[in-house]
Structure 1
Amino acid sequence: MIQRVWFALVWGTIKLGLFFYSKKITVLGTQNIPKKGAVLFAVNHPNGLVDPLYVTTTNKRHNHFLVRAASFKKPFIKKILESLYLLPIYRIRDGIQQLANNKEIFEKCHKILNSGETLMIFPEGSHDKKRAIRPLSKGFTRIVFGALEKNKNLEITIIPVGITYQHPSHYPAKVIVNYGQPITTRNIFEANPLAKSINILKAKVSNQLEKLSVHIPDDQNYETILQKLTDAQVDFTAVAEVNDMIASNRFPDKKQPKRNYLKPLYFLIILNSIIPYLLWRKISKKIDEIEFIDTFRFALNLFLFSLLYLVKAIILSIYFGNIIGFFYLSISAFMVLIYSSFAPTNAKKHTKLDEAS
């Protein structure tokens, strides 16, 4: 009970944080999510740990998460992650000897599904900012079919989920979370040999993910197509429209990016948040993986910026009265909300130079 209350508190805080951090969050297909029963959300993975945050805060089911084991290295962090229903998944890059730990994790996943709860997994196996659905690993099929084998009365529904960002790692974020059609798994498992069942399930999920997110085939034409879309300043969160352009090989004419007339407001926000901003500038230089830029920046915004505003409001309240403190806190939040809601989110190809933007 205590863990559920803690999770609900963190969930609400993150949802509020994403509201301030994002220009627009479009959510489609939530009617496809079963209201009860075992569900596995199979999600593409373009943008680090913010991907599961957008998914879990846009559906009403109580989610457990599988994330890479490297996140659990520090004992204190491990306890926090486990309290939020995160489970480690080990990969070959973690060491072959570590793969044996997945047996225990899979057992926990089977219990979760057998209890009629939900599990979120990223079947591509790793994150990558490329606008392409990569080949899926069979790990998620092992979890599903292992649970079905243990419980003959269990049905597991897979919901593919496509996440597409206008520009990963850019603030303010503009994102679409697209829930796909339910895939029931019992029939597939019982009607085919295991190897064939695995291939069928992987194909069904992959085919949907390619439609639920912007998918540029990762071949020799990838960079050319991406450049044409970027030059045309397309709205990548209009997923179906952009995928039609890719399929037909017809692209709009080149457009100039929109000017950011709110830049003075941005500098005012920075001035009001100078300490955490300077800390972010320092931290951002040490981020090795581009896909983690949004993760660290969002966490910094959520905690340090909020804490700074609250402390300054308290100090103002002590010396000048509660009205002044409340006015400062309200204005600070309002400035962030205005910038996040109205600053342009131009399409552009990501480089390390964007990391502090």
Structure 2
Amino acid sequence: MGYKIIRAVLNFIFFGIFRLHVEGRENVPSKGAIIVAPNHKSDWDPPLIGVAFDTRIIHYMAKEELFKNPIFGWIIRQFGTFPVKRGAVDRTAIRQAIRELKAGNPLGIFPEGTRIRRDGLGRFHSGMASLALMTGTPILPVAVIGSRYLPHRKGPLAVLIGKPVPVKKERPTDELVAELNEEIKGKIQQLMDDYQAKIS
């Protein structure tokens, strides 16, 4: 019930007030585990992407600081979000992430690890690619545009969902992690570039 109420409210806010534009919903698999990999500009990103995915609930791995505000923490928990400690290997969060994938759920991980308060993409950390390689889970690249300024709206607000990138299950060496990160980063950048070209 909490999820349905929160989703209805956020749908009104994002689609009704902020006029959120979503592309690529047809690329979201109807079932099965997948890692959703968006760029990160704002604390609004988890619920924003959550409403963009209208058929599935994304179970986010998000920094534990977001849960300090009890109201916001409750809201993002309704979208399947669970905390991860930054700056160290959080084995509890990793085990939870693997459980979500084994259950066939979409798992959301921000590859940049934190909000990037500037134009463009930041450095990708190893977590998303390592987890994908360890489990052989495909990755869904997602580009978020305009969330950096929320709750103010400056320019277009959009969530662009790319096609799934298949990942072969194998040991996540530094080389394989870097290669996969670059591939996903390139696809997110391409989604942004194509959208900007279209609206220019």
TMscore range, shorter length: 0.7 to 0.9
Within 2, Cα distance between the matches of 1:61 and 1:117? 8
Assess, with a 3 A threshold, how the Cα gap between structure 1 residues 28 and 91 changes in structure 2: closer, same or farther: same
Deviation track 1:256-276 (CA, whole Å, cap 9, x = no partner) reads: xxxxxxxxxxxxxxxxxxxxx
Assess, with a 3 A threshold, how the Cα gap between structure 1 residues 36 and 130 changes in structure 2: closer, same or farther: same
Deviation track 1:271-305 (CA, whole Å, cap 9, x = no partner) reads: xxxxxxxxxxxxxxxxxxxxxxxxxxxxxxxxxxx
Aligned residue number for residue 180 of structure 1: 162
Within 2, Cα distance between the matches of 1:32 and 1:107? 27
Q: Which has the higher helix share?
A: 1
3-state SS of the aligned residue for 2:115? coil
Assess, with a 3 A threshold, how the Cα gap between structure 1 residues 67 and 167 changes in structure 2: closer, same or farther: closer
Give the count of matched residue pairs.
Answer: 198
3-state SS of the aligned residue for 1:61? coil
3-state SS of the aligned residue for 1:140? helix
Aligned residue number for residue 102 of structure 2: 114
Note the C-alpha offset of 1:197.
Answer: 2.0
Deviation track 1:172-222 (CA, whole Å, cap 9, x = no partner) reads: 763121111211112xx34x76222212210111111111125xxxxxxxx
3-state SS of the aligned residue for 2:143? strand
Within 2, Cα distance between the matches of 1:160 and 1:83? 23
Deviation track 1:67-102 (CA, whole Å, cap 9, x = no partner) reads: 21112236776566445421112222xxxxxx25x1
2:36–2:106 contact (8 Å) kept in structure 1: yes
2:34–2:140 contact (8 Å) kept in structure 1: yes
3-state SS of the aligned residue for 2:118? coil
Structure 2 runs not aligned, ≥5 long: none
What amino acid sits opposite 2:139 in the alignment?
I
Structure 1 runs not aligned, ≥5 long: 93-98, 149-154, 215-236, 246-357
Aligned residue number for residue 65 of structure 2: 70
**1:264-275 map, 5 Å:** none
Note the C-alpha offset of 1:166.
Answer: 8.7
Give every structure 1 segment of 4 or more consecutive aligned residues whose post-TM-superposition deviation is greater than 3 Å: 73-84
Superposition RMSD on alpha carbons, in Å? Answer: 2.7
Larger CA Rg, structure 1 vs 2: 1
1:129–1:168 contact (8 Å) kept in structure 2: no
Aligned residue number for residue 18 of structure 1: 14
TM-score (norm 1): 0.50
Within 2, Cα distance between the matches of 1:21 and 1:116? 33
**1:25-44 map, 5 Å:** 25-44=20-39
Which has the higher relative contact order, 1 or 2, with Cα contacts under 8 A spaced 6 or more apart?
A: 2
2:36–2:139 contact (8 Å) kept in structure 1: yes
Within 2, Cα distance between the matches of 1:20 and 1:193? 43
Within 2, Cα distance between the matches of 1:62 and 1:239? 28
Within 1, Cα distance between the matches of 2:147 and 2:48? 14
1:121–1:140 contact (8 Å) kept in structure 2: yes
- Identical pairs, percent: 21
TM-score (norm 2): 0.85
Which of 230, 239, 251 is the equivalent residue of 2:196?
Answer: 239
